Every structure is written in structure tokens, then in C-alpha cells.
């Protein structure tokens, strides 16, 4: 069995059997590509069926010199998944990653913004700014409002459709990782800004493929992830914010502020679209004063 054949079969399995998104499949494939390139560069002629522990260990040792701990762990996890698939399909008897341990990584607490900082970022937007007749200032305001008020991932934001808006019911339909859909509440204030943008959007010449896409660039096409990062980076610079932030920072802030104000962790999990509540539990570590308040309010022997 050749490496490329094994990789193609694995990618098909990830898409059909596990239902992973294109981005996730690409990331898994990159791990295998690194190993294939290593074997080629070192003239090691071993198929995915015959490669064993020693060669994998040497590859990880050489590669780890260029990677941080978190990236090393992800690489080992990706390779382990690939060889587990080969064992499952009876191409191999054993997984060469079985005795290779991932490096210990600490749980990184997410960066958050104070409400005052979010207000300052939104307040720094020039609402009169237009480009090719498109009032992008109004668009940028509603982008930040939606990121923060709904806790969306940047990919969820740029893929949001007009047909996903259910304002009468107070919800939007969000398509998350693995094309899993969930309904997220949306407040009247954010609805108001989206409707302002929709009035502006109605005067844009829209590309046929993006007739239903909510957020567009000045050419009537879907915004890119990079554009959202640039908008936020420029606003942070404008207010001299001494933090490195991204679209995900608004999602972290959404969850943290809900928790601080007494929201139930399970409700936050559902709104964020986390498959496991252990992922959501990271927000319990952001503000420990919340835990103290819970104890003082509810414990019978406080």
C-alpha cells in the first residue's frame, strides 16, 4: 500500500464515517504529509504498513525541534489517529504510536475583553466609512456585535445566511464544526444592527453564489476569515489596546461574561456548540471569584 493511497482512504473515512469538516480533514492530512516528506528526504523506503516505532520516534524527535509543546501533541495525536484507522481496516496489526507519549500541555486560559474594552472597540468604528458605495463601517459594527452577543466562531460568522435568521423567535441557526447545526439566541440590539446592515446590503450588486450570505465585502462576495482578523486588529491598534486579540476573543468574552453573571454552564455549552462540557469548563478557571460567590450564596455552611 502506497502512502498517498492510504492517505486518500483515510481522508474519505474522516469525511464519510466521522463527518469532519474540510478544515479538520486538511489538518489531519498535514500531519501525514509531514511524515511522508520526512521519509522522502531521508530516503526511507517504508510503506504505511511496514513503518514501525523506531522510525516514527525519530521523525517526531526531529520535527519537535521546530514545534511548541501544543503542536507536538497535536502532531502525535494526528498520526496516532491515522495508524489506528489502518489497524481498524486490517492493513496493520499494531499502531506504532502506541508507546509514544504526547508531551504534557497545560490548559491555556482564554484571553478575554472587559465590557468597557468591547465598547471601546465598537466605538472606534467609523460608521461613515464607505468603500465603492458600501457602508463598511456599519457592517463592521454588526460583525463585532454578532461575534460578542452570540459567541460565534469566525467561520460560523462568515457562513451565516439570511435564511438562518429567525428574529421573530429570537434565534439564529448556526452551522458549526462538522456541519453540526444549533440555534443560538440573539438579542434585540443585535437584531437592530443586522437589520440596518440588511438595508445597506440590499443596494450591493451581489455575486450569484452569495445571494443568501449575510456578511459581504464591497464586491458582493463572502468575507474571508482573514478580513475579520484584520478588522479587529486595526480597531485594537486604533484604541491602543494592550492585548493580542482575535475574533475568538469575542467568543471567549461572551462565555466568560455569561458565567460571571450567573449563567448555567450547560446553557453556555449549548450556545457555544461544544460537544463536551469539559471544553466549556475551561471558563470556570477564568474568574475564580464567581466560584466564591456561588459557594457563599448556596452552601448551607458558608
Report, as residue numbers or ranges, the catalytic residues. 153, 177, 248, 251, 274, 283
* 274: helix, strand or coil: coil
Cα separation of 78 and 95, whole Å? Answer: 12
Query: Considering only CA atoms, which of 117, 119, 141, 121 is closest in space to residue 129?
Result: 141
Q: Which long-range contacts (CB under 8 A, 24 or more apart) does 280-287 make?
A: 280/255, 282/107, 282/109, 282/110, 283/110, 283/252, 283/255, 283/256, 283/259, 284/259, 285/107, 285/109, 286/109, 286/110, 286/112, 286/252, 286/256, 286/259, 287/256, 287/259, 287/260
Cβ neighbour number for residue 100 with a 10 Å cutoff: 14
* 132: helix, strand or coil: coil
Q: Please report, in angstroms and rounded to a whole number, the separation of the first and last CA atoms in the chain.
A: 65
* 273: helix, strand or coil: coil
Query: Considering only CA atoms, which of 110, 106, 107, 105 is closest in space to residue 287?
Result: 110
- The answer to whether residues 224 and 158 touch, using CB atoms and an 8 Å cutoff, is yes
Sheet of 181-185: strands edge to edge?
Answer: 165-166, 171-175, 181-185
- The answer to whether residues 118 and 147 touch, using CB atoms and an 8 Å cutoff, is no
- The answer to whether residues 55 and 46 touch, using CB atoms and an 8 Å cutoff, is yes
Amino acid at each position: 500500500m502506497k502512502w498517498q493511497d492510504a492517505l486518500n482512504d483515510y481522508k474519505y473515512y474522516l469525511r464519510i464515517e466521522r463527518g469532519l469538516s474540510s478544515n479538520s480533514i486538511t489538518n489531519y492530512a498535514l500531519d501525514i504529509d509531514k511524515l511522508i516528506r520526512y521519509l522522502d528526504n531521508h530516503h526511507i523506503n517504508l510503506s504505511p504498513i511496514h513503518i514501525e516505532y523506531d522510525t516514527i520516534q525519530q521523525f517526531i524527535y526531529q520535527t519537535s525541534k521546530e514545534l511548541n509543546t501544543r503542536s507536538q501533541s497535536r502532531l502525535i495525536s494526528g498520526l496516532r489517529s491515522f495508524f489506528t484507522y489502518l489497524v481498524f481496516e486490517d492493513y496493520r496489526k499494531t499502531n506504532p504510536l502506541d508507546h509514544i507519549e504526547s508531551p504534557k500541555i497545560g490548559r491555556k486560559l482564554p484571553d478575554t475583553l472587559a465590557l468597557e474594552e468591547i465598547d471601546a472597540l465598537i466605538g472606534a468604528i467609523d460608521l461613515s466609512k464607505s468603500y465603492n458605495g458600501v457602508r463598511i463601517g456599519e457592517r463592521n459594527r454588526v460583525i463585532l456585535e454578532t461575534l460578542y452577543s452570540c459567541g460565534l466562531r469566525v467561520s460560523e460568522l462568515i457562513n451565516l445566511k439570511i435564511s438562518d435568521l429567525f428574529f421573530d423567535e429570537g434565534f439564529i441557526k448556526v452551522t458549526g464544526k462538522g456541519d453540526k447545526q444549533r440555534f443560538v439566541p440573539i438579542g434585540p440590539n443585535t437584531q437592530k444592527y443586522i437589520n440596518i446592515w440588511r438595508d445597506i446590503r440590499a443596494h450591493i450588486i451581489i455575486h450569484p453564489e452569495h445571494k443568501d450570505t449575510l456578511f459581504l465585502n464591497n464586491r458582493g462576495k463572502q468575507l474571508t476569515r482573514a478580513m475579520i482578523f484584520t478588522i479587529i486588529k486595526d480597531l485594537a491598534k486604533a484604541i491602543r489596546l494592550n492585548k493580542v486579540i482575535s475574533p475568538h476573543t469575542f467568543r471567549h468574552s461572551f462565555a466568560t461574561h455569561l458565567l460571571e453573571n450567573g449563567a448555567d454552564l450547560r446553557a453556555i455549552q449549548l450556545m457555544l456548540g461544544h460537544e463536551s462540557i469539559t471544553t466549556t469548563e475551561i471558563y470556570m478557571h477564568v474568574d475564580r471569584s464567581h466560584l466564591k460567590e456561588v459557594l457563599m450564596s448556596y452552601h448551607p455552611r458558608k
